[in-house]
Structure 1
Amino acid sequence: MSTLPGEPKSQDPRLQRLIDFYEQLQPAHLDKLDRIYSDDVRFKDPFNDVSGLPAVRHIFSHMFATVQAPRFVVRHAVSDADQGFLTWDFHFSSKGSTFEVHGATRVTFAADGRVALHRDYWDVAEELYEKLPVLGSLMRWLKRRARG
């Protein structure tokens, strides 16, 4: 999917609303989570498995408190009936280094069009741990050993 800046990436307004939210995400937007997520949303990623808006708000608050300049860029989006799938890049800085994490998200929508389930998929070892100075060396060594 190739889109111009500002051009919709999805024909599904529910999915486009989610894309817009993530691509424009700022700390002030956390008060608008209830427009995107249902009250009892389940959110799961490699570090979290929580339910409810307060828990999701906490995840984003923690992100803004621990990394600098977090930014999502959605690359592809598809939807079908009550679910959608996104691929994305997450850019951020931490302790003087910049990082880019590639991942995907599967969402299911509640009857009111808000997200009821948000499930992120990304490889923590490859996308994050291997890029850290000391831990990265260990992870690359373990990967080489596992390959034989």
Structure 2
Amino acid sequence: MDVIGRFCKIYTDICQISPDDLEHIYADDILFIDPITTHHGIDEVKRYFSNLLTQAESCKFDIADIFTCSPNGAKEYPSSHSKVTHIANWTMTLTLKDSDKQITLDGTTQLGVSGDSIIYHKDYYDLGEMVYEHVPILGFVVKKIKGKLAK
């Protein structure tokens, strides 16, 4: 199974893996970026996932599409991180341990693959939809603002 296949398998339910499993898809010098923070290196990514695993009851990704990027259209990234080679569109379903409420969120991930490892991972999703809209008073305000902007 290639690294993209292993990526899809691991993200089926990341609460069913150990942080050490991430070494099967990510390079030692992985650059992992999401709307919350940036992680440099496999050890930081493993700590990030360890924290998630203590808080999440379930975190599943339904990966709808994986697109391979053409070399001519791929964006160059600084340092040792090469071009974006794949784009993944997904829907995440997250259930936290202290809540029975499910959060469903659509997103996209840019991946850079070199050899048989992912060296670049950048997630795009609506942080407000994931976090802010689920905070009682703040959620009400965010939804009102979105409603006004949509008119």
1:48-67 correspondence to structure 2 within 5 Å: 48-67=37-56
Per the alignment, residue 135 of structure 1 pairs with 138
Which of 118, 123, 128 does residue 125 from structure 1 map onto? Answer: 128
1:1-148 correspondence to structure 2 within 5 Å: 13-26=2-15, 28-80=17-69, 83-94=85-96, 95-110=99-114, 112-146=115-149
Query: Residues of 2 paired with 1:22 and 1:87: CA distance?
Result: 12
Note if contact 1:42-1:51 (Cα within 8 Å) is conserved in structure 2: yes
TM-score (structure 1 length as normaliser): 0.80
TM-score (structure 2 length as normaliser): 0.79
The runs of 4+ residues in structure 1 deviating greater than 6 Å are none
Note if contact 1:102-1:127 (Cα within 8 Å) is conserved in structure 2: no
Between 64-73 and 80-89, report the one with greater CA deviation: 80-89
Rate the CA distance shift 1:131–1:13 in 2: closer, same or farther, 3 A. Answer: same
Query: Residues of 2 paired with 1:14 and 1:57: CA distance?
Result: 17
Give the root-mean-square deviation of aligned CA atoms: 2.1
Query: Residues of 1 paired with 2:113 and 2:121: CA distance?
Result: 9
Write the deviation string for residues 61-120 of structure 1: whole angstroms up to 9, x where unpaired.
11111121111111111113661111111112232211111111010012x220000000
Cα deviation, residue 132, structure 1: 3.5
Between 134-143 and 101-110, report the one with greater CA deviation: 134-143
SS in 2 for 1:23: coil
Cα deviation, residue 18, structure 1: 1.0
Letter in 2 for 1:37: Y
Letter in 2 for 1:143: K
Between 75-84 and 44-53, report the one with greater CA deviation: 75-84
Residue ranges of structure 2 left out of the alignment (5+ in a row): 72-82
Report the number of matched residues. 136
Note if contact 2:15-2:58 (Cα within 8 Å) is conserved in structure 1: no
Letter in 2 for 1:93: T
